[in-house]
Amino acid sequence: MTDPRDDADFEAYLDGDSPVSRRYAQFASEEPPPELDTEILEAARHAVRPNVVPLKKSPRRWMMPVTVAATIVLSFSLVMSIVFDPSVIPTDNEMQLKTLLKENDMAQAEARAPAADAIASAAPPPSMPGENAMGRAKPAKKMETTGLATQAIDMPAAGAPASVALSIDAAGSTVRDTSELLADLRALAPRADADELAAAEQSRLRRENGAFAALQSKSLPDEADLADHAAGPDADDEIGKILALFDADEEQAALDALKSFSRSRPGHPASQIYFEWSGDAQ
């Protein structure tokens, strides 16, 4: 059982009105040492401060400018390589070639007109029912390359079908088809296009090898054959003229010229073609 006075004193104590609290407060005045305060406050500051790491060179500092510079240099190099790529930009030779092709077309057109008039006036060809249906090859373009080698050749326009004209004699009998011969002759001509040039070159080499093999099988090569074989540009000129005759529908004249060419230059691939086509003996 509690003393009522104790209860009253305790309630007074809880209310803050007690001699006990006052007496305790009189001597309770100790403080922690200042160095302890400093230590604790420093720890508190250190705990919430962001970690201040010593300044050191970060490898990423130079990465951005170097990346930008490298990107600019590479982009500039790429653009320059595209702009000044020789395979993309037409060279002077190619520009000159195009000009010459245009001039050649114009010259051929002019030269073809009197030739056609002359043919028409001399011997008009008999009417051929299938001529129009068969179609005609487009006029060959005369290409002359400069800088590499000076040669004039005839070549059909790209995509143009080879001539398939049938030669009919006066009696109406059909003679041998010159289309295959013409195609083989055209195959000898170099092409402006790289692929076509390569194919023509391969074809020419094959034929030359065949001719050379034929000569070897026959006998030792005579000096005339070797001279003919070495005279490439002149022979090509003549073949070009022959092809031009074909293109001008002067077939008989072309065959005569080819026959003459083949006999004068039996070692030339065109001659071999002609001999194979015509069956003439060399």
Partner 1 sequence: MLLVMATEPDDKTLMIRYRKGDETAFELLYSRHRGPLYRYFLRHGVDRETAAELFQEVWAKVIQARKRYEPTAKFTTFMYTLAHNVRVDHHRRAGRRPDLAAVSNDPELITAPTRGNPDSVVEVSATMRRFRAALDQLPSDQRDAFLLREEGGLSLADIAGATGVSAETAKSRLRYAVRKLRDALGAENGGDSHD
Q: Please give the residue ranges that form the binding site for partner 1 (CB under 8 A).
A: 6, 9-10, 13-14, 18-33, 36-37, 39-41, 43-45, 47-49
Please report how close the Cβ of residue 49 comes to partner 1 at its closest, in angstroms. 8
Rounded Cα distance between 206 and 203, Å, is: 5
Q: How far is the CB of 30 from partner 1 (least distance, A)?
A: 5
- Least distance (Å) between residue 82 CB and partner 1: 56
26 vs 174 by CB, closer to partner 1: 26
- Shortest Å distance, C-beta 44 to partner 1: 4
DSSP string, 175-229: ---SHHHHHHHHHHS--SSHHHHHHHHHHHHHHHHHHHHHHHHHSSPPHHHHHHH
Nearer to partner 1, 48 or 83 (CB): 48
Give the integer Cα–Cα distance in Å for 268 and 92.
Answer: 33
| Residue 178 DSSP label | S
Q: In angstroms, what is the minimal distance from the CB of 39 to partner 1?
A: 7
7 or 234, CB closer to partner 1?
Answer: 7
CA distance 61 to 67: 11
Distance CA 100, CA 94 (A): 10
Closer to partner 1 at the Cβ: 10 or 212?
10
- Indicate the residue among 45 and 56 with the shorter CB distance to partner 1: 45
Which value, to the nearest 10 degrees, does the dihedral of the CA atoms of residues 19, 25, 26, 28 take?
140
Pick left, alpha or beta for residue 154 (phi over 0 → left; psi -120 to 50 → alpha; otherwise beta): beta
Least Å distance, CB 53 to partner 1, is: 18
Question: Whose Cβ is closer to partner 1: residue 8's or residue 66's?
Answer: 8
